[in-house]
Amino acid sequence: MKQRKYNSVWDAIEPSRAAAANMKARSELMNAIREAVEAWELTQTAAAKRLGVTQPRMNDLLRGRINKFSLDALINMASQAGFGVRLEVVRPAA
């Protein structure tokens, strides 16, 4: 049995490169936002207000429920958290 190596878990579990790229971007954004929120040391309600979302939505983010968030929504939340978001497009190695 030949073992395959992947650059990320998303490459291993997603059905296409596009889906894996989307999930990688979403997970990176979620992690950055979650770390910022935790550093604020606010209640979920106060943090949600600061990001312009509801407390249940904040709870989904903090619990890592990635499928509940679009890339657009996460970019908006990251901006509200004070992050600049930049997209990098690269050609895969041959």
Residues spanned by the domain of 38: 9-80
pTM of the prediction? 0.85
Q: Which two tokens stand for residue 41?
A: 């040391």
Residue 4 belongs to some domain of the structure: no
d(C-alpha 50, C-alpha 16), whole Å: 35
Digitized pLDDT (tens) for each residue of the chain, 94 residues in all: 788 887 788 878 788 888 998 999 999 999 999 999 999 999 999 999 999 999 999 999 999 999 999 999 999 999 999 999 998 888 877 6
> What's the pLDDT score for residue 87?
87
Quick check: is 92 in a domain? no
What is the model's pLDDT at position 33?
A: 97
Residue 64: give its domain's CATH number. Answer: 1.10.260.40
pLDDT of 57 reads 97
